[in-house]
Amino acid sequence: MSECKSALSQTVQQGKLANWTVTRDGVDSSGRPQYQASGQLNGTLFTGKNGTFNFTCTAVYHQDKGVTRPGLLSTLTKPYNRHAR
């Protein structure tokens, strides 16, 4: 989903996506199909943090516009590492 990649590019300086999945997530309040993408990003954020981050992105399909994202909904969270100190 190019819209989710575009949203991620606003936060990510460089990186690679892994375990990328896209699923239908019902409809939005207007009845338009909604999709959720999730996966992991291994790279560096513009904040300087680097590592492997989980991400999710919600996108809505508009019949006249195609897939769009209602604002930046991509979120990056660093997975909990029980071995880190």
pLDDT (tens digit per residue) in 4-41 = 888 888 889 999 999 989 899 888 888 888 888 889 99
DSSP 8-state class, residue 50:
E
Kindly give the residue spans of alpha helices, DSSP state H, lying in the chain.
Answer: 2-9
CA distance 3 to 59: 7
Mean pLDDT of 59-81: 58
Bridge partners of residue 75, in order along the sequence:
56
Q: 3-state class of 72 per DSSP? A: coil
Look over the chain and give the mean of its residue pLDDT values, rounded to a whole number: 78
